[in-house]
Amino acid sequence: MVEAIRVIAQHLAAEVGRATLDDRVLRAMAKVPRHEFVPVEVKPYAYLNRPLPIGFDKTISQPLMVAVMTDMLELQPDDVVLEIGTGLGYQSAVLAELAGKVYSVEIIEELAQRAVQRLKREGYANIDVRVGNGYFGWPEHAPFDKVIVTAAPDLIPPPLINQLKAGGRMVIPVGLPDAQKLVVAAKDLNGKVGTKEIMQVLFSLLEGSDQPTLRPSFLIQSVGAHLVATLRLRKPSGGRLSASANVPRGAIFNSLCR
């Protein structure tokens, strides 16, 4: 799988703006057992370069997209990372291999619980998972060195921009369903944010704050051998986060991955 990612990424170099992916990212991808983060029914397909269903009409992102987005974060060992869209925890695990701490937000409680169980089983102690609306991030632990989002809003959510540390980077798909772009947003030391469009992608949608203003929110943490869940009433709350079913658009990628 990793060698296939390396080859395809080289063909996408003009779009991605990088000749090769960071070896640290590829080693993390090789280390994390993807089959442990998918339902048993699709384990035989775990190392194919494609999204796979994980229940609740959601998917685990294709390995190439995980690698590209992780690479663009330019993670450092002491980084604190915010992830929007935990799914079953695969991207979280890859991030945790490269960063100091990962805070991940998932809107579907059952997925969050299953992710925590899988991450605990694999020995990850530097990931906290919260059930809530990812549009609003996780302000209690802000600011973050890096932010990664696995569903596409029309525009970058202001709360996520505000929670990005000066000098930090965000990787996020942005745009309407038929015109989404993978975007890198960088905040300079003066707090000014610049963005760069990388390539066309297709993600499911991250909705905003147009849902009821009061709903339950849970914090689910991996704490040693225990799981801790704290019920909170959070106001405001909002839209539904759909896990990504994503493919870079382009003839080279499509011809290599079918």
- pLDDT tens column, 198-246: 999 988 888 664 543 333 444 555 433 333 333 333 333 333 333 344 5
Question: Residue 9: its pLDDT value, please?
Answer: 85
Distances from the Cα of 149 to the Cα of 23, 35, 230, angstroms = 22, 22, 24
What domains appear along the chain, each with residue ranges and CATH number? Answer: 2-257 (3.40.50.150)
Please give the mean pLDDT across all residues of the chain: 84
Question: What's the token pair of residue 154?
Answer: 């029309």
Question: Residue 219: its pLDDT value, please?
Answer: 55
What positions carry a catalytic annotation? 61
* C-alpha to C-alpha distance for 205 and 9, rounded to whole angstroms: 25
* C-alpha to C-alpha distance for 243 and 241, rounded to whole angstroms: 6
Kindly report the pTM of this predicted structure.
Answer: 0.82
Instruction: Scan for tokens 């992710």, then name that residue.
Output: 115
pLDDT of 257 > 70? The answer is no
